[in-house]
């Protein structure tokens, strides 16, 4: 039985969505500054100078991948927490973990100072970042989508998705400002630390969410069923749902003793598998478009570092309206069609991307990144609502987070490493384009096999 859940007024939904955007933006800023630093400074700061430059670069990108290895575990832990005790509490815990871990990265000693202990500490803190981002996405998405009107879940859910390009812009803007205002030697010595130390702001956002935002109406209804104390309260919930008291009594008993993670694997295995596949093209191509392109543009094409960073920054700005528009369109015509269109178009464009970057002009590099990110947004815009709608409310945090984060590790975690290795082996970017198109094909098939969800009512 499905039922509409009466949510807050739309002006309050907008406040929730904007708060989710703010928290998501800073969370992803924290995650992305690591990728930028891994491309630019970590190879020389955290690894022995005896290593060849390519090996040091691969080692730095390997520590970047550690965050992706941790993300499914974060999805499991925070998903269980979010389905058991609340979306808001899980989100706050993830925000605080990310803020602390990223700030500590900015305080780490280098390889020259403490030897092998430096990369070990870096890896541990990167792992903590991965745990945090693994839990943050589900909380931000569900705060927005479970509070939104049914016919606007895609649009409001996309506010949390907009945090990704905003995080990229903030990360690259801070690095650009630092490299523009201080000498290269000073940036290498201490300037790289400033972007990490600024993430202490995320602690304040976490406190705001805890103190100012309400739990979602969907989770409140689950809690009302679980904590019904007498027959009158059971009857009230049964009347609200349009089912018998026996059904509500059975659901209350199940909610008290269930494990959301085990339950989601039992009840939604197909959705977990296919959402994982649907995520691969988004995450893998995204990190090629914003992280690998920095190393490729600087070291292979010969562009100035600031030119590539600025291109990523400007290209990411185009992603913001693309996300909002594609998500709003999905509220009207469905999630699957626009998602599959994005996979097809990005797969085709991947063969034009590297020739445009290799042209070597800032305008062409910016256009290549912008076009790639806009096409990717056709998938990522409706994705938040799409994934949430595929899972029942009792296991939604766990299910949506697992699909997203498993896809992230298979797609984005190793994309810069694979792209670097392909370039080194073949001396050409064409194999990387084939790799990008292959990821799009996997996501296209996965979404094709999923059901349409945009007209689904909230299920409790």
- 280 shares its domain with 312: yes
Mean pLDDT for the stretch of residues 2-9: 52
- Asked if 380 and 46 touch (Cβ cutoff 8 Å), the reply is no
Report the pLDDT value the prediction gives residue 37, as an integer from 0 to 100. 84
Which tops the pLDDT comparison, 309 or 64?
309
Report the pLDDT value the prediction gives residue 255, as an integer from 0 to 100. 64
Tally of domains within the chain: 2
Mean pLDDT for the stretch of residues 41-68: 82
Quote the mean pLDDT of the chain.
88
What percentage of the chain carries pLDDT values higher than 90? 48
Tens digit of pLDDT for each residue in 95-114? 899 889 999 999 999 888 98
| Residue pointed to by tokens 């797969």 | 347
Q: How far apart are CA 2 and CA 83, in angstroms?
A: 18
- 284 shares its domain with 135: yes
Report the pLDDT value the prediction gives residue 409, as an integer from 0 to 100. 85
**Residue 2: inside a domain:** no
**Residue 455: inside a domain:** no
- 97 shares its domain with 229: no
Question: Residue 246, class by beta-carbon neighbours within 10 Å (0-12 exposed, 13-18 middle, 19+ buried)?
Answer: exposed
**Residue 5: inside a domain:** no
- Asked if 96 and 208 touch (Cβ cutoff 8 Å), the reply is no
Report the pLDDT value the prediction gives residue 8, as an integer from 0 to 100. 67
Tens digit of pLDDT for each residue in 147-180? 999 999 999 999 999 999 998 888 878 888 887 8
Mean pLDDT for the stretch of residues 286-303: 91
Q: Indicate the DSSP class of residue 198.
A: G
**Residue 267: inside a domain:** yes
Q: How far apart are CA 242 and CA 230, in angstroms?
A: 18
| Residue pointed to by tokens 């990008």 | 436
- 269 shares its domain with 400: yes
**Residue 456: inside a domain:** no
- 166 shares its domain with 228: no
pLDDT band at 247 (very low <50, low <70, confident <90, very high): low
Tokens matching residue 243? 């089912």
- 253 shares its domain with 282: no
CA angle centred on 443, ends 336 and 287, rounded to 5°? 115
Tens digit of pLDDT for each residue in 13-39? 888 898 888 888 888 888 778 877 887
- 232 shares its domain with 320: no
**Residue 458: inside a domain:** no
Domain boundary among 232, 257, 282: 257
Q: How far apart are CA 80 and CA 89, in angstroms?
A: 12
Reported as half-sphere exposure (CB side, CA atoms, 13 A), residue 47 has a value of: 21
Q: Is the pLDDT of residue 287 over 50?
A: yes
**Residue 454: inside a domain:** no
- 116 shares its domain with 237: no
What DSSP letter does each residue of 392-417 carry, written as one string? -GGGHHHHHHHHHHHHHHHHTTTHHH
- 410 shares its domain with 283: yes
Instruction: Find, among 241, 94, 221, the residue nearest to 146 by Cα.
Output: 221
Reported as half-sphere exposure (CB side, CA atoms, 13 A), residue 274 has a value of: 19
- Other CB atoms within 10 A of residue 441 CB: 14
Rg from Cα positions in the chain: 22
- 230 shares its domain with 308: no
Supply the CATH number for residue 138's domain.
1.20.1250.20
226 is in which domain, residue-wise? 220-257
Q: Is the pLDDT of residue 315 over 50?
A: yes
Domain boundary among 199, 229, 257: 257
- 341 shares its domain with 283: yes
- 208 shares its domain with 247: no
Domain boundary among 203, 232, 257: 257
- Asked if 205 and 23 touch (Cβ cutoff 8 Å), the reply is yes
**Residue 239: inside a domain:** yes
């Amino acid at each position: 039985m499905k039922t509409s859940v009466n949510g807050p007024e739309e002006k309050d939904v907008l406040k929730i969505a904007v708060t989710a955007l703010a928290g998501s933006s800073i969370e992803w800023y924290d995650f992305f500054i690591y990728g930028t630093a891994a491309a630019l400074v970590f190879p020389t700061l955290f690894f022995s100078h005896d290593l060849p430059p390519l090996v040091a670069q691969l080692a730095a990108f390997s520590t970047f991948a550690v965050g992706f290895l941790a993300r499914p575990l974060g999805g499991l832990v925070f998903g269980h927490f979010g389905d058991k005790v609340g979306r808001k509490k899980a989100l706050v815990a993830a925000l605080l973990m990310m803020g602390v871990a990223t700030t500590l990265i900015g305080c780490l000693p280098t390889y020259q100072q403490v030897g092998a202990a430096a990369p070990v500490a870096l890896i541990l803190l990167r792992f903590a970042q991965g745990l945090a981002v693994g839990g943050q996405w589900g909380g931000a998405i569900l705060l927005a989508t479970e509070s939104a009107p049914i016919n606007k879940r895609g649009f409001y859910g996309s506010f949390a998705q907009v945090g990704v390009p905003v995080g990229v812009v903030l990360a690259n803007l801070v690095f650009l400002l630092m490299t523009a205002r201080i000498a290269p030697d000073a940036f290498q010595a201490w300037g790289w630390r400033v972007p990490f130390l600024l993430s202490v702001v995320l602690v304040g956002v976490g406190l705001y969410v805890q103190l100012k935002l309400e739990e979602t109406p969907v989770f409140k209804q689950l809690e009302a069923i679980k904590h019904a104390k007498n027959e009158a309260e059971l009857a009230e919930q049964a009347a609200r749902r349009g089912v018998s008291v026996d059904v509500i009594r059975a659901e209350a008993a199940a909610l008290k003793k269930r494990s959301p993670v085990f339950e989601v694997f039992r009840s939604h295995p197909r959705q977990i598998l296919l959402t994982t596949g649907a995520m691969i093209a988004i995450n893998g191509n995204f990190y090629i478009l914003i992280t690998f392109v920095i190393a490729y543009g600087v070291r292979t094409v010969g562009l100035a570092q600031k030119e590539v960073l600025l291109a990523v920054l400007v290209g990411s700005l185009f992603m913001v309206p693309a996300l909002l528009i594609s998500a709003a369109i999905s509220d009207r015509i469905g999630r699957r069609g626009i998602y599959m269109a994005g996979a097809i178009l990005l797969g085709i464009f991947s063969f034009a991307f590297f020739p445009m970057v290799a042209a070597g002009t800032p305008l062409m590099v910016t256009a290549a990144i912008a076009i790639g990110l806009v096409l990717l947004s056709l998938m990522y815009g409706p994705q938040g609502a799409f994934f949430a709608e595929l899972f029942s409310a009792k296991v939604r945090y766990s299910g949506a987070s697992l699909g997203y984060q498993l896809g992230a590790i298979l797609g984005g975690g190793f994309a810069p490493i694979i792209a670097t290795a392909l370039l080194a082996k073949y001396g050409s970017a064409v194999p990387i384009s084939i790799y990008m198109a292959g990821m799009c094909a996997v996501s296209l098939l996965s979404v094709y096999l999923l059901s349409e969800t945009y007209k689904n009512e909230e299920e409790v």
